[in-house]
Amino acid sequence: MIQISTQDLLLLHAYGETTPEQAARLERELADNPHLLAELNDILSMKDLLNDARLSPSATSVNIVLEHSQNTAEELHEI
C-alpha cells in the first residue's frame, strides 16, 4: 500500500481526487484536528485565488504559436 503524506492528501482532497477510503480517513482527522482543517481551508482559499487569476496569453503570443504551427504543417506537407 502506498503511503501518502497528509499534505499530499489535503491537496488531493481539495481537488476531489481522493479515494473514498482516503476521504473518510481525512474527514476523521479533520474532525479531530482544527489545525489540519485550517490548513485545508488555506489550500481551498489558495485554489480559489488561482482559479480567479487565470490569464490569457497575449495576442502576440497566440500569433507566434499559430504562425509556427502553420509553418510546421506546411513543411511537413512538403515532405
Judge whether 43 lies within some domain: yes
| φ and ψ at residue 66, rounded to 5 degrees | -60, -40
pLDDT reported for residue 3: 61
On whether residue 11 sits in a domain, the answer given is yes
Residue 44 lies in domain: 6-78
Q: How many domains, the chain?
A: 1
pLDDT at residue 5, as a whole number:
82
Q: Is residue 30 included in any domain, yes or no?
A: yes
Q: Whole-model pTM above 0.75? A: no
Would 1 be classed as within a structural domain?
A: no
pLDDT tens-digit series, residues 18-74: 999 999 999 999 999 999 999 999 999 999 998 887 778 889 999 999 999 998 887
